[in-house]
Amino acid sequence: MSLLTRTADLAAVCARFAKHSFVTVDTEFLRETTFWPKVCVIQIASDEEAVAVDALAEDLDLAPFFDLMANPGVTKVFHAARQDLEIIWKLSGLIPAPLFDTQVAAMVCGFGDQASYGELAQTICNAPIDKSSRFTDWSRRPLSEAQITYAIADVTHLRDIYRALVAKLEKSGRTSWLADEMRTLNSPATYEQHPDTAWERLRGRARKPRDLAVLMEVAAWREREAQSRDVPRSRVLKDDVLIEVALAAPKTAEALSQLRTFPRGMERARGGADLLAAIERGLARDPKTLPKIERDKRGNASGGATVELLKVLLRQVCEANGVAAKMIATSDDLEAIAQDDRANVQALTGWRREMFGLKALELKHGRLALTLEKGKVIAIEWQEAASAESVAAE
């Protein structure tokens, strides 16, 4: 197996890869004990060869790899690219371009919401993937032959998967759909970890302005602490503890220590003092400057019924058009449509509107009906539904 440990070898390989129209890329990394992912192995393949790069090799310079990632003449093919791209962005400040994510393309082509690499390899290439090395420690050296073989397999079948998906996209005329979906992956904002927006991961837990204000401050404090120490957020304070702190908003170290889940002794440490300062900042915030709190709509029976019907319609539309439901609308999108005909959601714009959005509005206002035909859900215009009911009555 080909494992590169020297910069000169990596530069030579990347020079050869730069002559191809596309390369497939994957990474093996660890994140269990750090905030930022620690890259251990990088796999790259062209049509002619496939290699693994020991990213932890002493004195190895990854600059040739980053140059290849920035080469505008070579498409970089990943599967479920987000974490791989976060690693590359963190190390180099660049996002590989042009970019192709086979998981996103598979959704456009109707392979399901989040088709795994193994599923696509089996379906498209008829090649089962050996996952025996999946959970090994990629930071330990030397790497075993089994680990290297496993790692390289993650980019070899990806070549055929890429070709097959490109052919399906071109045949169905959906290449532009993929470009639309790739905008998020291509944006640096996707990979930036801003402490001031850390509260958004927990936004549904704050139901009052004061709670939200404190949550915003303590979540930002935890994010800064985790980043500076390069440890997982939970190593600083677990989510449930952070929520309890935000809701209780203790003002003294003693009050902090009385919280049921708060780590014993932390109230007397620097972290406890910093946390109390964050709570104080939250309590001092002007409620008028806070984001709007989204109210729970589950008590709205009619709205809930509408959402359930929209889910059935979405499933029917997706099956009929061979596209994953996640590509068209999320549950939050459906709730928004149920509440507002002009909701600011993707399902009501562009090709999604033509395929699903307009039908969703018709269904919501009683101008479209859902029925069963030979065990399959079909949508029919209201007038057709009314005619069918008349025939049945006769």
CATH code of the domain containing 314: 1.10.150
Residues 18 and 137 in one domain: yes
Long-range contacts of 117-122 (CB under 8 A, 24+ apart): 117/79, 117/80, 117/154, 117/157, 117/158, 117/161, 120/79, 120/157, 120/161, 121/157, 121/161
Above pLDDT 90, what percent of the chain? 77
Higher per-residue pLDDT: 238 or 366: 238
Query: Which residues sit opposite 99 in a β-bridge?
Result: 76
Q: Which CATH number characterizes residue 226's domain?
A: 1.10.150.80
Residues 15 and 131 in one domain: yes
Give domain status of residue 296, yes or no: no
Residue 252 has pLDDT above 90, yes or no: yes
| DSSP H helices in 52-100 | 63-70, 82-92
> Most distant CA pair in the chain: distance in Å?
84
Residues 215 and 78 in one domain: no
Provide the domain limits for residue 351: 301-393
Residues 38 and 167 in one domain: yes
This model's pTM is above 0.85: no
Determine contact, residues 221/242, Cβ cutoff 8 Å: no
Residues 319 and 171 in one domain: no
Closest CA relative to residue 322, chosen from 102, 173, 110, 177: 110
Give the mean model confidence (pLDDT) for residues 147-152. 93
Phi and psi angles of residue 374, each rounded to the nearest 5 degrees, phi first: 55, 40
Phi and psi angles of residue 342, each rounded to the nearest 5 degrees, phi first: -115, 30
**Alpha-carbon distance 120 to 214, whole Å?**
45
**Alpha-carbon distance 189 to 15, whole Å?**
30
Give domain status of residue 77, yes or no: yes
Residues 131 and 64 in one domain: yes
Give the DSSP letter of residue 34.
-
* Helix (H) / strand (E) containing 286: none
Give tens-digit pLDDT for 160-193.
Answer: 999 999 999 999 999 988 888 888 899 998 998 8
Give the mean model confidence (pLDDT) for residues 124-144. 87
Residue given tokens 């795994």 in the structure block: 116
**Alpha-carbon distance 229 to 223, whole Å?**
10
Of the candidates 289, 310, 342, which is a domain's last residue? 289
Residues 164 and 247 in one domain: no
Give domain status of residue 314, yes or no: yes
Of the candidates 175, 190, 205, which is a domain's last residue? 190
Residue 388 has pLDDT above 50, yes or no: no
How far does Cα 167 stand from its chain's mean position?
A: 25
Of the candidates 172, 190, 208, which is a domain's last residue? 190
Residue 391 has pLDDT above 50, yes or no: no
